[in-house]
Amino acid sequence: MKLLRFGPPGSERPGLLDETGTVRDLSDVVPDIRGSTLSNAGLAMLRSVAPSSLPSVDDTVRLGPPVADVRHFIAVGLNYADHAIETDTPIPDEPVIFSKAPSCIVGPNDEVLMPRESRMLDWEAEVAVVIGEHAFELAEEDALSAVAGYLVCHDVSERQFQINRGGQWIKGKSSPGFGPLGPWLVTPDEVPDPQNLNLWLRVNGVTRQSGSTAKMIFPFRYLISYISQFMALEPGDIITTGTPHGVGLGMKPPVFLKPGDVVELGADGLGRQRQTVVLRG
Q: How far apart are CA 84 and CA 180, in angstroms?
A: 23
- CATH at residue 89: 3.90.850.10
Bridge-based pairing state of the strands 13-17 and 2-6: antiparallel
Q: How far apart are CA 4 and CA 20, in angstroms?
A: 15
Confidence of residue 163 (pLDDT cuts 50, 70, 90): confident
Residues 148-155, mean pLDDT to the nearest whole number: 98
Q: What is the pLDDT at residue 165?
A: 86
Q: What angle do CA 39, 41, 43 make, to 5 degrees?
A: 70
- 130 in any annotated domain: yes
Q: Please spell the DSSP secondary structure of 238-276, one letter per residue.
A: EEE----S--GGGSSS-----TT-EEEEEETTTEEEEEE
Better pLDDT: 251 or 87 = 251
- 13 in any annotated domain: no
Tell me the pLDDT tens digit for each residue of 224-243: 999 999 999 999 999 999 99
- Number of Cβ atoms within 10 Å of the Cβ of 61: 16
- 155 in any annotated domain: yes
Mean pLDDT for the chain overall: 96
What Cα–Cα distance (Å) separates residue 92 from each residue in 19, 80, 217, 248, 279?
A: 41, 10, 9, 21, 34
- 14 in any annotated domain: no
Residue 37 DSSP SS3: helix
Contacts of 108 (CB under 8 A, 6+ apart): 63, 65, 152, 180, 181, 182, 183, 271, 272, 273, 274, 275
- 2 in any annotated domain: no
| pTM attached to this predicted model | 0.96
Check: CB of residue 185 under 8 Å from CB of residue 150.
yes
Confidence of residue 91 (pLDDT cuts 50, 70, 90): confident
Buried b (16+ CB within 10 A) or exposed e, 224-241: bbbbbeeeebbbbbbbbb
Residues 84-92, mean pLDDT to the nearest whole number: 86
Confidence of residue 244 (pLDDT cuts 50, 70, 90): very high
- Closest among 101, 127, 99, 105 to 227, alpha carbons compared: 99
Q: What is the pLDDT at residue 246?
A: 96
- As for how many domains the chain has, the answer is 1
- For residue 239, what are the domain limits? 67-279
- 258 in any annotated domain: yes
Beta strands in the chain (DSSP E): 2-6, 13-17, 23-25, 56-57, 63-64, 73-77, 96-99, 105-106, 112-114, 121-122, 125-131, 147-154, 157-158, 179-180, 185-186, 198-203, 206-212, 238-240, 262-267, 271-279
Q: What is the pLDDT at residue 86?
A: 85
Kindly tell me if the per-residue pLDDT of 164 is higher than 90: no
- 55 in any annotated domain: no
Tell me the pLDDT tens digit for each residue of 180-219: 999 999 999 999 999 999 999 999 999 999 999 999 999 9
SS3 content of the chain, % helix, strand, coil (to 5): 20, 30, 45
- 38 in any annotated domain: no
Q: Return the bridge partners of 96, or none.
A: 77
